[in-house]
Amino acid sequence: MANEPIIEAQGLTKRFTVKKKTVAAVTDLSFEVQRGELVAFLGPNGAGKSTSLRMLTTLLPPTSGTARVVGHDILRDPAGVRARIGYVGQLTSGSYSQRARDELLSQGAFYGMGRAAASARADELIDSLDLAGSRRGPCSSSAADRSGGSTSHSGSCTPRR
């Protein structure tokens, strides 16, 4: 297990149908990441970076191919994958008018947390990131505050190694 890749993708492909045409967003993505390695997805707009990450985090099923993340298959065990990772995409699922705490509760539900556990974790994150002013009011639209909120989203779960 110590030598097992932390992420292993084999032939990941994602195609979308747009206006009756098939568009390949990602084609035959294969790679391995070993424990302790740092990896970056780089490329121009439309290169498939976000789509690749959404497939690896189980937010978007691949058209073909497979991947394992921390030993869990993204298709056969998506809950196992989500329980062991934290992911913050470029845009969060909530609107800027949504209350920060409500967004954290939504993230907790995504990760399979019960209401009480998600509530306790949301309060812990809000306090630890000094976002108490956003607890009950709408999320701020400043980039810095949104960044803090996004950081708290990644902490909604407790990733395991």
CATH number, domain containing residue 61: 3.40.50.300
Q: Which of 96, 9, 18, 94 is nearest to 54 (CA)?
A: 9
Q: Residue range 90-101: average pLDDT?
A: 58
In this predicted structure, what is the pLDDT of residue 49?
Answer: 94
Residue 146 CB neighbour total at 10 angstroms = 16
- Reduced to 3 states (helix: H, G, I; strand: E, B; else coil), residue 14 is strand
In the chain, the amino acid numbered 61 is P
Query: Of 54, 82, 110, which marks where a domain is finished?
Result: 82
pLDDT digits (tens, 9 = 90+) for 25-38: 999 999 999 999 99
**8 A C-beta contact, residue 60 and residue 14:** yes
In this predicted structure, what is the pLDDT of residue 103?
Answer: 78
Model's pTM, two decimal places?
0.65
Shared domain check, 26 and 61: yes
Shared domain check, 11 and 65: yes
**Which DSSP letter does residue 133 get?**
G
Residue 119: is its pLDDT beyond 70?
yes
Q: What residues pair up with 18 in beta bridges, in sequence order?
A: 21
Whether 89 is in a domain gets the answer no
Shared domain check, 120 and 68: no
Token representation of residue 96: 């800027």
Q: Residue range 102-116: average pLDDT?
A: 80
Shared domain check, 76 and 14: yes
How sure is the predictor about 141, in pLDDT bands with cuts at 50, 70 and 90? very low
Q: Look at the chain and report how many structural domains it folds into.
A: 2
Shared domain check, 60 and 32: yes
Whether 88 is in a domain gets the answer no
Whether 25 is in a domain gets the answer yes
Please state, rounded to an integer, the average pLDDT across all residues of the chain: 81
Where b means 16+ CB within 10 Å and e means fewer, 70-99 reads bebebeeebebbbbbbbbbeeebebeeeee
pLDDT digits (tens, 9 = 90+) for 53-72: 999 999 899 999 999 999 99
Whether 1 is in a domain gets the answer no
Higher pLDDT among residues 113 and 98, named by residue: 113
Radius of gyration of the chain (CA): 17
In this predicted structure, what is the pLDDT of residue 101?
Answer: 78
How sure is the predictor about 104, in pLDDT bands with cuts at 50, 70 and 90? confident
Domain with 36, as residue range(s), is: 7-82
Distance (Å, rounded) from C-alpha 73 to C-alpha 65?
11
Residue 123: is its pLDDT beyond 70?
yes
- Reduced to 3 states (helix: H, G, I; strand: E, B; else coil), residue 75 is coil
Residue 40, Ramachandran bin (φ over 0: left; ψ between -120 and 50: alpha; else beta): beta
Distance (Å, rounded) from C-alpha 19 to C-alpha 142?
35
